[in-house]
Amino acid sequence: MNRSSNFKNIVLIGMSGSGKSAVGKYIAEKLNLEFIDTDEMIVDKTGQSINNIFKLYGEKYFRALEQDIIEKTIKKEGAVISTGGGVVLNKRNIEILKKKGMIFLLQASIDSIVANIESSPANKEERPLLKDAINLRKRIEEIYKKRRHLYISNSDIVVNVDHKTMEAIGDEIIYIFKQHTSCSKN
């Protein structure tokens, strides 16, 4: 079966700071769909901040929680799912997200990511993999280098987000999603 005939959810992947959470929320509100931010769900479930989870239990534990949350989306239909930047590190996550989701990669230049992260101090402080970086740009480049191939190979659609407003990015995704889902009904 063609995957596009089974696109029920919009899934956003991409580097930390590329806009997945903000754009996902916008899309869900505009389409009146359920919004799932996997990081927010982890915080709700544990009662701990992402920072604290990393500090107290380590990244491996966080990744297990992340997979747990992704597993819970397996039957979802009509949801917008904003993932954490590291979701692509685990094959099982992608396998689940792909079952019903159209995967959009928010492709941002390093400049855009740095600008987004630096737009408020909290943005950096709340991201354990970035918060201690002396050179933020370099840290982002290092992470991107390791993940680039995973982002590209696991996406259905690449959306360039540079110099676009969140609304413009969201509207572009909605347009593409609607085109694919309406085609598949025929």
Ligand X SMILES: O=C(O)C1=C[C@@H](OP(=O)(O)O)[C@@H](O)[C@H](O)C1
By C-beta, is 37 or 76 nearer to Mg ion? 37
| DSSP letter, residue 13 | E
Residue 80 engages ligand X in binding (rule: CB under 6 A): no
How far apart are the C-alpha atoms of 2 and 120, rounded to whole Å?
A: 42
Residue 83 engages Mg ion in binding (rule: CB under 5 A): no
Q: Write the CA distances from 16 to 19, 37, 141, 147, 183, integer angstroms.
A: 8, 13, 11, 11, 32
Report the partner that residue 116 touches, choosing among ligand X, ligand ADP, Mg ion, none (CB closer than 5 to 8 A by kind): ligand ADP
132 assigned ligand-binding residue:
no
* Residue range at the interface with Mg ion (CB under 5 A); choices 13-21, 70-78, 160-168, 178-186: 13-21
Q: Write the CA distances from 149 to 4, 12, 139, 144, integer angstroms.
A: 22, 16, 17, 9
Residue 73 engages ligand X in binding (rule: CB under 6 A): no
Residue 18 engages Mg ion in binding (rule: CB under 5 A): no
Residue sitting closest to ligand X (CB): 84
How far apart are the C-alpha atoms of 96 and 7, rounded to whole Å?
A: 13
20 assigned ligand-binding residue:
yes
Q: Which parts of 126-185 interact with ligand ADP (CB under 6 A)?
A: 161, 164-166, 169
How far apart are the C-alpha atoms of 118 and 42, rounded to whole Å?
A: 24
Judged on CB neighbours under 10 Å (0-12, 13-18, 19+), 38 is: buried
Report the residue from 19, 86, 101, 170 that binds ligand ADP according to the rule CB under 6 A.
19
Handedness of CA 45, 48, 49, 50 (dihedral sign): negative
Report the residue from 129, 133, 136, 176 that binds ligand X according to the rule CB under 6 A.
129
Binding site for Mg ion (CB under 5 A): 20-21
Binding site for ligand X (CB under 6 A): 16, 20-21, 39, 50, 84-86, 127-129
Residue set of the binding site for substrate: 39, 63, 85, 147
